[in-house]
Amino acid sequence: MPHPLGATPSKIIAVHVNYPSRARERGSTPAVPSYFLKPPSSLAGTGEAIVRPSGCELLSFEGEIALVIGERAHRVRPEDGWRHVRWVTAANDAGVYDLRHADRGSNLRSKGADGFTPVGPRLLEARELDPARLRLRTWVNGELVQEDTSDTLLFPFAELVADLSRLVTLEPGDVILTGTPAGASVASPGDVVEVEVTAEGRSTGRLRNPVAEAGHDLEPWGAMPRTGPAERAAALGPGHPPEPVLDPALAEGLRSVAVATLSAQLRRRGLPHMSLDGLRPTRPGDTMAGVAHTLRYLPLREDLFERYGAGLNAQKRAVEELRPGHVLVMDARRDTTAGTLGDILALRALRRGAAGVVTDGGLRDSAAVAGLPLPVYHGGAHPSVLGRRHVPWDTGVPVSCGGALVQPGDLLVGDADGVVVVPPDLAGELVADCREQEAQERFITEQVQAGHGIDGLYPLGPAWRARYERWREQHTSEGDPV
């Protein structure tokens, strides 16, 4: 089926990053929008195949909301930008990461091949829509993989029109691809990608495009496909990082020392409020160390739950954004009267490589979660579903969990005693000092077991210092690390 635009547009302009969820995946948030051009010859309609060039393996899909200009725009103001938009439709900003190296910055061959911009199948009248109330969803083989709403955009539609029109005249029929949310990844021949935009009871219908393999070799003149770890990581998304987010040696060092010892060392450094209070482990014998990835819940409002709690909401996005070594930290306002995690999401976090999950809210399916090889700390078991007390609101923001401030990128360490927050820049020296403290406590324990009193011994005083040093040297020489 041909695309629904009729006349060929003079240009297709695509925004690099425009959803906060995508910015978090990419690790940086732009201060202003940036763009690239796609040739009009890349347009396609629903049902047409997206053909992966021979020799390429990383054909990406990116569900997007497309704007079609209806009235010439030249140096318009942001408050007037939306009236220059005639139609809204669904789009798939397809591309091959294998050829990004060929036109670094312009994306011409990687994003501009014939058929790499399917749009449709129907056009929605922009003037009948609230631009802040559009919903975008993408499916691959029937599985929902992207969902977001236009009220979250970093740069609203009218601002994009105004920004572009400062220097580039937008003509009727021109298309603006307004960015893709989290969840964009790679599709293979035989897969089917579908994109839909809905708004206030209206729908573009599903833009449906199968992925096919080219039936001919790519001619050998010009740049050829090139694929390596960097291209795969960028194409596949945060679920397929080349390395864990926390250095394995540091993670092992943090797991090797007691949380109680870490807490004492943090207090000595003037940080007495680093424990996440009121939490209990599902598996007391486990230890945990990882990098915080945060999720914030807000109190339930029934009129907002459908908008923020349904579909691929912030709770589910937070799980899908996890990378190996992450600890998912949930701020549920210490309200344990509703579940914030159950067995299915816990299993998904485990499959994503999470080092653990921490919530100061309730835990559903507690017996099943305890059976997973995943450290989970929670405020208490509760049978209820999410919508009883909480609305999942956003991810990747500073949160309060168990009364402690946790920032994305902080380190979380847990054992049977509980969980503490460790500032990343202190982690190395804390491990060394904790090991020294634990060696002293081991020595002190042996002396108490031998019948010595604790005065001057605990904490270790000058009278015992020389004896401790001899004890430590002996154990070290015998190959017993202390």
**Does 343 carry a binding-site annotation?**
yes
Question: Is 344 marked within a binding site?
Answer: yes
3-state class percentages of the chain: helix first, strand second, coil last, to nearest 5: 30, 30, 40
Beta partners for residue 413, in sequence order: 289, 420
Residue labelled with tokens 């001057």 = 456
**Rg value, the chain, Cα:** 27
Q: For tokens 């324990």, what's the residue?
A: 445
User: Which residues, 6 or more positions from 155, have their beta carbon under 8 angstroms from its beta carbon?
Assistant: 15, 18, 32, 33, 163
Query: Is 218 annotated for ligand binding?
Result: no
Q: Is 208 annotated as a binding residue?
A: no
Which residue, chain included where needed, has tokens 């019948």?
A: 451
CA distance 441 to 459: 8
Q: What letter does residue 54 receive in the DSSP assignment?
A: T
Classified as helix, coil or strand, 52 is strand
Strands 280-281 and 143-149, bridge-based pairing? unpaired
The three-class DSSP label of residue 22 is helix
Cβ-Cβ contacts under 8 Å for 11 (sequence gap 6 or more) = 37, 40, 171, 174, 175
Between CA 147 and CA 202 the distance in angstroms is 17
Q: Is 392 helix (H, G, I), strand (E, B) or coil?
A: strand
The response to whether 345 counts as a known ligand-binding position is yes
3-state secondary structure of 480: coil
What span, in angstroms and rounded, lies between the C-alpha atoms of 265 and 269? 7
- Cα dihedral 183, 187, 192, 197 sign: positive
Q: How far is the C-alpha of 47 from the C-alpha of 208, rounded, in Å?
A: 5
Angle at CA of residue 391, ends 415 and 277, nearest 5°: 25
Cα–Cα distance measured from residue 354 to residue 371, given in angstroms and rounded to the nearest whole number: 16
User: Contact 276/377 with Cβ under 8 angstroms?
Assistant: yes
- Please report, in range form, the residues annotated as the binding site for substrate: 342-345, 364
- Please report, in range form, the residues annotated as the binding site: 342-345, 364-365
- Please report, in range form, the residues annotated as the binding site for Mg(2+): 365
